[in-house]
Structure 1
C-alpha cells in the first residue's frame, strides 16, 4: 500500500477506535492522577503536543509533553505515585521511549503505553496497555497513525473526564458526536486536497526549501507537517508557530523559498504576513476555510472545531507527501536507508 492508501483508510480506523474506547480504557479511566506526562519522538511527540490543550481543558490537571531525552531521574518528585506517564511509539519499538518509561517506573510513576501494534516493546513495562488500534502501516512516513494516536489520546481524556465527573454522560456523547462528524467529513476534505495538490504539484516538486507556518491551535500539526514533508521530499523543511516565525525566521525568506501557511482563522495577521512575504517570494500557499480563492490556495470546507480541526489541516500536507516526491524519482513510502534504525540501535527490529 502507498501513503495515500493509508490516508484513505483513516476514517474507517478512526470509527473502529471510537467503537472500542469503552473496552480499551475500562481500567485506566477508574484511576486518579494529579499529573500526566506524555512522551514520544517524532510523530508521537507531535500527537502529544497537538492533544495538550484538549487534555488540559477536559481533565483540569497538569499535563506535560516531553521528548524521551528530556526525562531523567530529576524529572520526578519524591512521591510520584499519582503521576501517569504515557509512552507513545507508533511501531512500539522505540528504545528511547522505552528507556524514559523505565526511568518513570523506577521513580514510582504509573505507566501507560500507546503503540500502534499489539505486544510491543513499550507494552512490557506498562501498567495500562492502551493500544492504538489503527492497523499496520508499512511505510516509513506514518500518516494514519498520527490521526489514530491523537484520537486515542482524546478518547483517553474524555473517558477519564467522564469517569471522574468532569464530563456528564451527555457531554461525553456530544464530544463523540463532534468527532464522528469529522470522520464522516474526511472524504470531502480528501477530495478537495487531492485536487489542490494536483493543481500545484509541479511547483511543489521544484521547491528547494519549505517553511510551514501554523497558528498556535495546530502547533502539533505544524511540526508534523514539516517532518512529513522533510521525510518524503528530502529537502530542508521547518515548521513554526505564527508568532515564532515573525520573531526572526522571516529573515531567511528569499526568492526561491516556498511557504505553506495553515490558517485556521485564529490569527488576524495572516493576511498582513502574506502581503509582506509576497515582496520576497511568490511561492506562498495558504490552507484555510476563508482564504482567497485562487489556485495556489486550498480554500476547503473545513468544519474548524477548536479541538477537532486537527483532523483536517494536516490532510493536504500528507497528500503532498504522497503525490509529489515520485515526480522527483523518490518513493515516499520507503526510507532513504531501510536499515538505519539497526545501524543506530534506535529501535527494536
Structure 2
C-alpha cells in the first residue's frame, strides 16, 4: 500500500481507537501521576509536541516532551515515583526510545509504551502497554500513524482526566463527539486538498527548498509537515513557528524559495508576511480557512477546533508528499535506503 491508501484508512482507524479507549487505558487510569514525560523521535516526537498543551489542559499537571537523546539522569532530579514516562515508536523498534525509557525506569518512573504494533521492543520495559492500534503502515513516510498517535495521547489524557475528576462523564462524551466529527470530516478535507495538489503539483515538484511556517498551536504539525516533505521530496525543508520565522529565518528567502504557510486564523500578521515575502519569491502557498483568490492557496472547509484542528491542516501537505515526488521519479512510499537502520544499528529489525 502507498501513502494515500493509508491516509484513506485514517478515519476508520480513528473511530476504532476511540471505541477501544475504555479497554486500552483501564489499568493506567487507576494510577495518579504528578508529571508526564513523553519521548520519541521524528513523527513520534511531533505527535507528542502537538498534543502536549491538550494533555496539560485536561490533566492539570506538567507534561514534558523530549527527544530520546535529551533524557538522562538529570531529567528526573526530584522524586520520580509519581512520574509516568511514555515512550512512542510506531514501529516499536527504536533503540534510542527504548534506552530513554530504561533511564526513566532506573530513575523510578512508571513506564508506558505506545507502539503501532503488538509485541514491540519498547513494550518489553513497560508497565503499561498502550498500543496505537492503527494497523500496519509499511510506507517509509508515516501518515496514518501520526494522526492515530496524537489521538492515542489525547484519549489517554481524557481518560485520566475523567478518572481524576478533572472532567465529568458528560465532558468526556462531548470531547469524543468532537473527535468523531473530525474523523467524519477527514475525507472531505482530503478531497479538497487533492484538488489543490493537482493544480499545483508541477510547480511544487520544481521546488529547490521549502520553508513551512505554522502558528504556535499547530507547531507539532508544522515540524511534521517539514519532515514528511523532506523525506519524500528529498530536498532541504525546514519548519518554523510563525514568530520564530520572523525572528531571522526570513533572511534566507530568495527567488528560489518555496514557502508553505499553515494559516489557522490565529495569527493576524499572516497577510502582512505574505506581502513582504512576495517581493522576494513568487512561490508562496497558503493552507487555511481563508486565503487569497489564487490557485496557490487552499481555502478548505476546516472545522478549526482549538485542539482538534491538528487532524486537518496537515492533510494537504501529506498529499503533496504522496503525489508530487512521483513527478521527480521518486517513490515516496519507499525509503531511499531500505537497509539504512540495519547499517546504523538504530532499530531492532527482524532478520
Q: When the two structures are superposed, what TM-score results if normalisation uses the length of structure 2?
A: 0.99
Q: What secondary structure sits across from 2:213 in the alignment?
A: strand
The CA distance in 2 between the partners of 1:77 and 1:127, in whole Å, is 21
Which residue of 2 is the match for residue 64 of structure 1? 64
Map of 1:42 onto structure 2: 42
Q: 1:184: how far off?
A: 0.4
Displacement of 1:292 after TM fit? Answer: 1.8
Residue equivalent to 1:129: 129
Measure, in 2, the Cα distance between the counterparts of 1:70 and 1:302. 35
Please list the CA deviations of residues 119-172 of structure 1 after superposition, one character each: whole Å capped at 9, or x if unmatched: 000000000000000000011000000000000000000000001100000000
* 1:290, distance to aligned residue in structure 2 (A): 1.3
Shift of 1:78: 4.7
Match of 1:327 in 2: 327
Please name the residue that 1:149 is paired with. Answer: 149
Unaligned segments of structure 2, at least 5 residues = none
Counting only pairs closer than 5 Å after superposition, residues 4-83 of structure 1 correspond to structure 2 as 4-83=4-83
Q: Secondary structure at the match of 2:113?
A: strand
Alpha-carbon distance between aligned partners in 2 of 1:187 and 1:195, rounded to the nearest angstrom: 12
> How far does residue 279 in structure 1 lie from its aligned partner after superposition?
0.2
Q: Tell me, yes or no, if structure 1 residue 276 matches structure 2 residue 283.
A: no
- Superimposed CA distance per residue, residues 162-208 of structure 1 (whole angstroms, 9 cap, x where no aligned partner): 01100000000000000011110111000000000000000000000
Provide, for residues 238-260 of structure 1, a one-character-per-residue CA deviation record: whole Å limited to 9, x for no partner: 00000000000000000010000
Describe the SS at the equivalent of 1:119. Answer: coil
Residue 296 of structure 2: aligned partner: 296
The residue matched to 1:7 in structure 2 has which SS?
Answer: helix
Task: In structure 1, list runs of 5 or more residues that go unmatched.
Answer: none
Corresponding residue for 2:259? 259
Displacement, 1:77? Answer: 2.5
Q: Which residue of 2 aligns with 1:313?
A: 313
- Other-structure match for 2:174: 174
* Distance (whole Å) between structure 2 residues aligned to residue 276 and residue 176 of structure 1: 41
Aligned to 1:176, the other structure's residue is in SS state: helix
Structure 2 match to 1:205: 205
Q: Which residue of 2 aligns with 1:195?
A: 195
CA distance in 1, matches of 2:164, 2:331: 47
Q: Equivalents in 1 of 2:175, 2:291: separation in Å?
A: 28
Alpha-carbon distance in structure 1 between the residues aligned to 2:145 and 2:293: 31
Q: Give the superposition deviation at 1:294.
A: 1.7
TM-score, normalised on structure 1?
0.99
Q: Specify the SS of the correspondent of 2:5.
A: helix
Q: 1:293 & 1:30 partners in 2: Cα distance? A: 52
The runs of 4+ residues in structure 1 deviating greater than 4 Å are none
The DSSP-based 3-state class of the residue aligned with 1:182 is helix
